[in-house]
Amino acid sequence: MLLVSPVLWAQTRDPGAARAAETAVVDTPGLPRVLIIGDSISIGYTPFVRELLQGVANVHRIPENGGPTSRGVEQIEKWLGDGKWDVVHFNFGLHDLRVMEGERRQVALEDYEKNLESLVLRMKKTGAKLIFATTTPVPEGNVNPRRAPADVVRYNDAARRVARRHGVAINDLYAAVLPRLTELQLPVNVHFKPEGYRFLAEKVAEAIRAALTH
């Protein structure tokens, strides 16, 4: 059972989503088990995914912000635990590409790809079907913390290379939401409006359903 703290869910900028997802997940016997790994974007869409997959799957989420791949490498054993997972839907990128002092990225592109490779190799050992969600767009403007929109494309390309090497399915949330950013994303902010999180959740639920039926 994974518990989620109120502080974690406050990071979505959506208190309603925070309250909805604080409820512990109690598995319904006989249903497949799904684990969502990701940052605050996944925090925001998880409650809607649970709603959309009610009666279809037990949808769990890691009990913290997944942050960059460097944190993932450190925490993956704890996150996976000792239970059986049928599907793992995961994302890393938004924290990795954060612009730090001296214009360096929090995790350099080369290290991001290496870390992601390590994470995929570990997750494959669970026997679960893996789905990588591309990192959602960074809008133009003075986003805080600093991130460059073009970096999202570069880091997503690196993630696709890893996914292709290991036969990991790709849920292209970047392409899905890009044409509707003005409508669905908060102004000059990487986070989304409630309708944006629901839109993303529909794509996530669709990808998980596909993985469960193939």
The string of pLDDT tens digits covering residues 87-137 is 999 999 999 999 999 999 999 999 999 999 999 999 999 999 999 999 999
CA distance linking residue 106 with residue 100, whole number of Å: 6
Per-residue pLDDT, 214: 86
Amino acid at 27: D
Per-residue pLDDT, 8: 42
CA distance linking residue 174 with residue 157, whole number of Å: 11
Q: Which of 39, 77, 84, 30 is nearest to 57 (CA)?
A: 30
What are the φ/ψ torsions at residue 53 (nearest 5 degrees)? -105, 15
20 or 40, greater pLDDT: 40
Domains identified in the chain and CATH numbers? 33-212 (3.40.50.1110)
What is the number of alpha carbons within 13 Å of residue 110 lying toward its C-beta? 1
Query: Which residue carries 């960059």 as its tokens?
Result: 68
Residue 23: pLDDT band (50, 70, 90) is low
CA distance linking residue 46 with residue 62, whole number of Å: 11
Per-residue pLDDT, 4: 39
| Average pLDDT across the chain, whole number | 91
Residues sharing a CB contact under 8 Å with residue 26, sequence separation 6 or more, in sequence order: 1
